[in-house]
Chains A and B, each alone.
Chain A
Amino acid sequence: MSQANARANVSRVVDDGSVFMGEQRNLWQDAARRFRRNWLAVGGLLVVICFLFLAAIGPASAPYDFLEQNIVKAFQGPSAEHFLGTDDLGRDVFSRMLHGARTAALVAFSTTAISLVIGVLVGAWSGIRGGLADEFLMWISDLIQAMPGLLLVILINTTLRRPIVNWFDALYEQTRNPFYLNTLWLDYVLVFSALALIGWPGLARLVRGQVLSINEEDYVLAARALGASEAHIMLRHVIPNAMGPLIVAVTAGMGGAIFLEAGLSFLGIGIQPPNASWGSMLEEGRRYWQIFPHLMLIPAVTIGLVQVAFVFLGDGLNDALDPRRNS
């Protein structure tokens, strides 16, 4: 890390125009150069960008309503009219896939955002305070990390849905506020929170480790001697230094969230019909796989492609952003 800072400082001097010693790059330009050389990672990045683009514009530009049923046209293969064919209820598979992309992207962003906030706060608190609070928080995060995450998420999703729906029903009875009537989006909230719950401990450990290691550095001692506050040290020194590993962890977390959401919906526990999710589409398609394999293959290939893209992207970022691995 110190080497990286030295490099960053050198380039800052260059930016001032006061010293110029050949071509100098800062940490990020260096990382970008290393990243570009890894074509698998670049491919992964392209797929992820495509996926996010489709998730953003998809549902609005979909040729059909993803819920529109037309039983007469059920089980059609790909055609000009229905780009990827139709499913068992005659719904347009392409429109449903686009909507599933929205679901996956929503899950990825919300889950990562929630676990990032919790992880950074807990990790910083643990690292700065130390002592009993640190012991306790790290014990909890150890437990969550040691548990089979899937089991935990399944448990949370199946047990918490009913009381929340009942609670909303009761609130509707009392207030007659139509807001409480629609409980479809509750699936999303439940999946987000369950996934965030198993996502934060890794980030917290990361931030805590950064806080502890950077607190050892002389420049932090100097900053402290000059009267810098803990918040200043956090924002000015710890967070910028932790940026690389955090980006890698967040990318991996997004891929993991999409994987878990698809898995949960595949088991019939996550996003419930009629909402569209790639996992539940895969499960629905599996019922007819020997006669209409395209219904199973389309979501399967899509989930696989996006997952592999995230894995390659994460790996490429990991190599590019680790300055100690300078080649």
Chain B
Amino acid sequence: MADFILETEGLTKEFRGFVAVNGVSLKIRRGAIHALIGPNGAGKTTCFNLLTKFLDPTRGTIRYNGRDISGAKPADIARMGLVRSFQISAVFPHLSVLENVRVALQRRRGSSFDFWRSERTLDAFNDRARELIDWVGLADFVDTTAVEMPYGRKRALEIATTLALEPELMLLDEPTAGMGHEDVGRIAALIKRVAAGRTVLMVEHNLSVVSDLSNAITVLARGEILAEGDYATVSKNPEVIQAYMGAGHG
């Protein structure tokens, strides 16, 4: 039996009669880079939001490390080591790069309700924050305000922030969306490095990135699983080709 970090069973989400995700049963193997792909409107992002608890499923269960998290809150699952990124780069725009990463490291203190303490308490996290920033190649930007950085760098910062939580399972929502060619290569290499020692589930449009990085792929179409397997298997599947290219090409 393989060891699955995340399993869903019959996951379904309906919006006023429209079924966005229908009976999806996913199994994410521990240590894998698992890609969720599919044409526009296939329900990838809805599925992603269900897994990260930003949406509540209409039916179905989600188990993380064998534990049912179907009713958990987004902040709770983050504390369990399941951390997501967002489609639009999710940085804190008017905080510096260092502060961005530090806010995540600060989570280790538990809740930060201590409004009477000086923020210099947080200086204890500076070294670790610099290490992470250096690791994603942003050493020259430590004091830059996040909003002033180019898009690709923001995504790198986002990954550093996510890494600060030392997540067991990282969920990346279209990590290379809207990027230039050069940035795509840089982020793909970064994801590969990040994946060492943890599990990554990503929604991705760029098929060359998917083929390069992932060792398991699930194809969604119209809210349902169309095919599963590695890139070679999936890319030869006539149904997948038809879903991507439309009728007449199969």
Partners in one complex: no
Chain A residues with CB under 8 Å of chain B are: none
Chain B residues with CB under 8 Å of chain A are: none
